[in-house]
Each structure stands twice: as structure tokens, then as C-alpha cells.
Amino acid sequence: MSRRSLQLVLGIVALIAVAGIAYYALNPSSDTPDGTQSADGYELKPEDRTMGDPKAKVVLIEYAAVSCPVCAMFNAQVFPQIKRDYIDTGKVLYVFRMFPRMAEDGAGEKMARCVPPERYFTVIDALFNNQPKWDPEFGIQDSHGGLIQVGRIVGMSAEQVDQCIAAKADDDRINAVATEGQSRYNVTGTPTFVINGQAQPSRGLSYEALAKLLDQAAAGK
């Protein structure tokens, strides 16, 4: 799904502070003192939310926004099969990174980061599955109230949701992730998939198309 430039997004997303990101020198399979794991074309950082074997040969990074309908469709229709055949079997390490399209994406990411890491994807799934309750693109006038509804689905009180959204500590990280996505991988739309450091065009992928790319990466092609 096409989106406006990151500069415009940062101009309207009040929850995301303007910040830059410093790149680390890349050395294949190297670790840095802060826990960052580097390889040709990509870095895995301690704050990443992941699924699968950290030692998997293939690393699949998805840049997505919880307000993105194409991302929600992928999450519902394609990802479960990818998880079953590639992530759960140890073939692929999956990394989810938020690339915000609007303020509500930043709010959703903060909600997901507010729960224990093992429940992060539970919140992300709830946000995807309930877009019509909170996403302004569905004509929702009270997105804040919708996010509170989603919070209740995953066991968060209204007060907890508000505290999570209001917290400023995660703003710089959200902005840095988005900035790196644009600068390093030329992310201009969601979802964008990066496979072993190689960015694919921003679009949804069928199971067959993505599986073929993952198999090629595993074979070193």
C-alpha cells in the first residue's frame, strides 16, 4: 500500500519525535557490545520483536503499520502459513518493525510495547484484526476510544492504554526504526519485506511468492 513520504508522516505524527539514526559498520555474523547482531545488509537489535530461531539461516524483516489493510490481510491470510512452515520449523527468523503511516500506528506500537515481550504479537494481532474499531480510514471518529476497546480485548484497562500511549520513552525508537527503514531499505509503503538484507518491492505477497523467496534465500540464491 503506497504511503506518503516519511518526512510528511513525521510532520503529522505527533507521537513520534524527530530523531536520526546512526548506522553501525556491518561485518558478517558480528555482535556489538550492546547486543546488536550484524550481518551483510541487516542488523538485529535487542529491542526487535521476533519469532523463530535466532540462528536461522534466513532472516525475514517485515516493515508494517497496524493501520495498513494490506498488512492486516497478510497477517490473517498468509502469515499463519509462513509461521507454520518456516518460522516454527526453525528455517526463518521473523522480525516485525513498525513503519507508521499515522499517529494511531505509533499509539498501537506503544500499546504493544507496554505488555511483556511474549505478548507483543498478541496486541499487534488484535490491532490488525480490529481495524474497523479504531482505524480512521474506516471512518472512525474516535480512534482513541477504539484503541481502548482493542486494549480491553487483550486485557488492558483504559488507564493502562492511556498511560502507554502517553509515555514518551519509546518515541525516539519508533522514529529511528522508520528512518532506518526508509534510508537503508527505501521503504515507501507497507508491507515491505526484507529477506537477508534484500528489500522486496512494497506490496503484499501471496504465500507462494514469499515461500519461493525464502527458499531462494535459504539456498543462497
CB 69 within 8 A of CB 137: yes
Of 37-41, 62-66, 79-83, 143-147, give the lowest mean pLDDT range: 37-41
| Per-residue pLDDT band at 221 (split at 50, 70, 90) | confident
Domains of the chain, start order: 6-218 (3.40.30.10)
Residue 68 has pLDDT above 60, yes or no: yes
What gap in Å lies between CA 157 and CA 205, rounded to an integer? 35
The three three-digit cell numbers of residue 140, written as one number = 472512525
What gap in Å lies between CA 200 and CA 26, rounded to an integer? 20
Confidence (pLDDT) at 133: 97
| Per-residue pLDDT band at 36 (split at 50, 70, 90) | low
Confidence (pLDDT) at 175: 95
Higher-confidence residue of 114 and 7: namely: 114
3-state secondary structure of 187: coil
Residue 82 has pLDDT above 50, yes or no: yes
Residue 186 has pLDDT above 50, yes or no: yes
Mean pLDDT of 47-76: 98
Neighbouring C-alpha atoms within 13 Å toward the C-beta of 58: 25
Confidence (pLDDT) at 38: 58
Confidence (pLDDT) at 5: 38
Higher-confidence residue of 26 and 113: namely: 113
Residue 155 has pLDDT above 80, yes or no: yes
Give the pTM.
0.83
Neighbouring C-alpha atoms within 13 Å toward the C-beta of 161: 21
The residue among 215, 202, 193 whose CA lies nearest residue 60 is 193
Confidence (pLDDT) at 83: 98
Residue 190 has pLDDT above 50, yes or no: yes
Residue 163 has pLDDT above 50, yes or no: yes
3-state secondary structure of 111: helix
Confidence (pLDDT) at 41: 78
Residue 105 has pLDDT above 90, yes or no: yes
CA quadruple 174, 105, 82, 155: dihedral sign: positive
CB 150 within 8 A of CB 181: no
Residue 34 has pLDDT above 50, yes or no: no
Average pLDDT, the chain: 87
Higher-confidence residue of 123 and 31: namely: 123
The residue among 63, 64, 59, 35 whose CA lies nearest residue 47 is 35
